[in-house]
Amino acid sequence: MSVPSLIESFHLHLRARGLRPLTQERYVYGAQRLHRHAGKPAEAVTGADGYAFLVHIGGTLGLSASWYNVLFTAVVRWFEFRSESVDLKGLRPQRRPLSPPRSLSVSDVYLLLEEVQNLRYQLALQLCYATGMRISEMLHLRIQDISRDEPLIWVEDQKGGGRRQVLLTPTLRTELQAYWRQWKPTGFFFERHPHHDPQPMSPATIRRAFHQARLAAGIVQPATVHTLRHSFATHLLRAGVDVFSLQRLLGHRSLASTTRYLTPASVSTHPSQVDLLARLRGTRS
């Protein structure tokens, strides 16, 4: 039996700490970038190398505050794992500007979804928009997560851990039931190849379908699958849903993350239906 490398041991350490898989991968990636920048074997990297790496990436053009903070934490976790001290000379995680997230209009969401030619991919994107799920959460949805009796879906939170509930509207339930009758998934709802490969669809497949549909719909505004989550939040606020309810639906630990969506244009004093898919259907008339 081979002895795991230092980076593999680091990965096992992160797993043992109970960090979610995506966080583990990002911290391992950050440690690998640190080693490449230092130009040394992993066991030879020092605290001074860690400081030099953070100074370097801090001046990198186009690196977001979010990614800087991921790499910053990866460096800290690496030296904790190595039981070595590191003097960061006052360096701290960067503060992210709390500007309102970009969202699509109701009509743009409708046009985009209509351009998705594959009906399986279309439903996957509809689910992201109708519930505010992240792409990873949508892809890991299982049959048993969908309540038969209540208008609820249980979501395994892929970012903060734990579980939360999202709304299962009548329109969405109808769409999911029709999908189940046709494809008969048994584990993950969106299997990669129904009846042949039970693993969930690849995120790259859904992102590619979204990108192609956005271009076909003539939407110039930059957008990703995650923009559907932002659109979900913005459209619910405009429909009259209060910010505390929205916080629970999005799975935000901090209310500050949710209040980013509050703008004069996003607040409605006339509550209306919150079945977003039903409202999309109304754009046809």
Active site residue 252: yes
**Catalytic hit among 20, 33, 37, 226:** 226
pTM above 0.75? no
**Catalytic hit among 159, 192, 207, 260:** 159
Strands (E), 46-185: 152-156, 163-167
Active site residue 142: no
The domains located in the chain, with CATH, are 6-81 (1.10.150), 106-284 (1.10.443.10)
Specify whether the CB–CB gap between 274 and 237 falls below 8 A. Answer: no
Give me the amino acid identity at 163: R
| Series of mean pLDDT values for 10-residue runs along the chain (285 residues) | 77 91 90 94 93 90 82 95 91 78 94 96 97 94 94 80 87 95 93 89 96 97 95 92 91 84 67 70 66
Q: How far apart are CA 68 and CA 212, in angstroms?
A: 30
Which segments of the chain does DSSP mark as H helices, in order?
Answer: 6-16, 21-38, 47-58, 65-81, 106-114, 119-131, 135-139, 170-183, 203-216, 225-238, 243-250, 255-259, 276-281
Instruction: Report the pLDDT value the prediction gives residue 267, as an integer from 0 to 100.
Output: 62
**Catalytic hit among 214, 229, 230, 238:** 229
